[in-house]
Amino acid sequence: RWRYLALSAALGALILMFGLIAGGRVGFVFFPSPESDTVFANISFVAGTDRPRTIAMVGELERALYAAEDRLSGGDGGLVVMSIAQVGRPVGRFDAFFIGSGDHLGGLRVELAPSDERDIRTVELIDAWREEVRLAAGVETFTIVERQAGPPGREIDVRIAGGRVSDLKRTALEVRALLARFPGVSDVEDDMPHGKREAILEVTPRGRALGFSTERVGRQVRDAFEGAIAKRFARGDEEVAVRVRYAQESLSDAALRELYLRSPAGAEVPLSQIVAFREVTGFARIRREDGVREVSVTAELDEAVTNTEEVLVALLDAGLDEIAARNGGTVRFAGKAEEQQRTFGDMRVGAAIGLIAIYIILAWVFASYWRPFFVMSVIPFGIIGAIMGHLILGFDLTILSIVGLLGLSGIVVNDSIILVRAIDEHQSQGEPLFDALVNGTRDRLRAVLLTSATTMGGLLPLLFETSLQAQYLKPIAVTIVFGLMGATALVLILVPVLLAIQGDLAALLARGRGAPAARTDAAT
């Protein structure tokens, strides 16, 4: 009898739940990683640093590790199972191909005791380890990260493209400084490290007057130092190339300046007379995507303090686009943010297909085009219990929570079908709509409760699981268990309410056409 008030109350509760998400009371983490038992520490010096210096810094990382272990465990140890050092390449980095190799790189792989057998969390160890490390002069980057499960990519990955190389590096440094201001953000770095000193040769007006071009100078200098192929011949099934070049031991800066080049007229001219020399610090590598120069600024997040979505929004509010535009570049987000966007796009398509399939089945079951809409209208209200469950138990929403919501919608529709079929049976026996709603709901009360209770009972073991490795699965159990608690009550109340409203609309349309109105309740 108070159907419009009941519907308004449900809509108000739904709006409140969305407000909890928008206001940050219930956070969102795309894919939480379970407690890791493996930690990677990496350092990189300026390119050209000798190997003994890198080895000494890796030794300092190991010393700091065990000092942090002693401090956290009170001298009892048992936290670190083993540590393996590596020099020449980074350890545990998915982007090791782009970082490259060299004596200036080193790292330490650390295996910890199983997470269920220790009280000290991995994040605590990383923080204590970072505080203990005494960085040597010349260290360009220093990162300590735990191995993460889930989609590839870093938590924060800002890609800056376009412009000159120097502008890209300047933009990357500004973005790094901006990221470092946010709490919970650590291990900020970019993938355009400085390399060795480079000699830049610029053809002078005198050199151009003699017929030299940048291409001609570059080709002859390259042939002299890297060699020119003088002849190719076949030997059996192989092709052999004969390369002519200077002896390796004679290559030096002095040899470059004393090099003679041949002009188009055939004259031999000293290189120093046709080019201007200048030295700059180059870059160890320059990444390109689709032929465009690109630099990536990455960082790690402490999910107990913030999340990826909050940091990315804060970056845009702090003027990220303006920084990139000022240096002639463009910016986009990659890493887990890109994976999140792609996943949500696929899930939207899947959800649309699922809802269409549900509508087709309901239209076939009820032999009606309009009744399925009223039955399916109860689906969004399942989110009320799910969000309340996350709020009460202190969980963030995750991608698994959304998967749970999709599964919850199927269970809600199943309960609705049971209820609506019973109501239709009572109406077919000549009962007024109001009586049919009450009697049908009463008849199917036990069936609806048992359908929901058995599903919740099956997920209770997961909900009460204490293993740290199962924590990232709990949001799906929270979504379905608490969602069903709320959805069961809503099905028993809202489905009859919506069907009563459908009866009101049918009576209104009948009066508009001048036909006699159908009886909607016992009083009428």
pLDDT at 95: 56
E strand map for 114-222: 139-146, 156-161, 185-190, 194-203
Q: Which residues contact 59 (CB under 8 A, 6 or more apart)?
A: 85
Residue 90 CB neighbour total at 10 angstroms? 22
Q: How far is it, in rounded angstroms, from Cα 178 to Cα 320?
A: 8
- Name residue, tokens 């055939």: 266
Q: In this structure, are residues 62 and 108 in contact, taking their beta carbons and an 8 Å threshold?
A: yes
pLDDT at 166: 81
Q: Which two tokens stand for residue 147?
A: 């191995």
- Name residue, tokens 């390109």: 288
Q: How far is it, in rounded angstroms, from Cα 65 to Cα 186?
A: 18
- Of the candidates 448, 462, 472, 283, the one whose C-alpha atom is nearest the C-alpha of residue 396 is 472
CA count, 13 A, side-chain hemisphere, 436: 21
Q: What angle in degrees, to the nearest 10, is found between the helix axes of 474-513 and 433-443?
A: 160
**Residues linked to residue 298 through DSSP beta bridges, in sequence order:** 157, 189
pLDDT at 117: 80
The 3-state secondary structure of 249-265, one letter per residue? HHCCHHHHHCCEEECCC
Q: In this structure, are residues 316 and 333 in contact, taking their beta carbons and an 8 Å threshold?
A: no
Helix (H) or strand (E) holding 80: strand 80-87
Q: Which two tokens stand for residue 248?
A: 């390796």
Start-to-end C-alpha separation, the chain: 12
Judged by DSSP in three states, 170 sits in helix
Largest CA distance in the chain: 114
pLDDT at 270: 87
Q: For 137, phi and psi rounded to 5 degrees?
A: -65, 140
The 3-state secondary structure of 308-346, one letter per residue? HHHHHHHHHHCCHHHHHHHCCCEEEECCHHHHHHHHHHH
Question: Each residue's pLDDT tens digit in the chain (524 positions)?
Answer: 888 898 899 889 889 988 888 877 887 777 777 778 888 988 888 777 888 899 999 999 999 998 998 888 887 878 888 889 988 888 876 555 556 677 888 889 999 888 878 888 888 888 888 888 888 888 888 888 888 766 666 778 888 887 788 888 888 888 888 888 888 887 788 877 777 777 888 888 888 888 888 888 888 888 888 888 888 888 888 888 888 877 777 677 777 777 888 888 888 888 888 888 888 777 777 788 888 888 888 887 777 677 777 888 888 888 888 888 887 888 888 877 777 788 888 888 888 888 898 889 888 888 888 878 877 888 888 888 888 888 888 888 888 888 888 888 888 888 888 888 888 888 888 888 888 888 888 888 888 888 888 888 888 888 887 776 677 788 888 888 888 888 888 888 888 888 888 888 888 887 777 655 554 444 33
**Residues linked to residue 244 through DSSP beta bridges, in sequence order:** 228
- Of the candidates 52, 149, 47, 151, the one whose C-alpha atom is nearest the C-alpha of residue 100 is 47
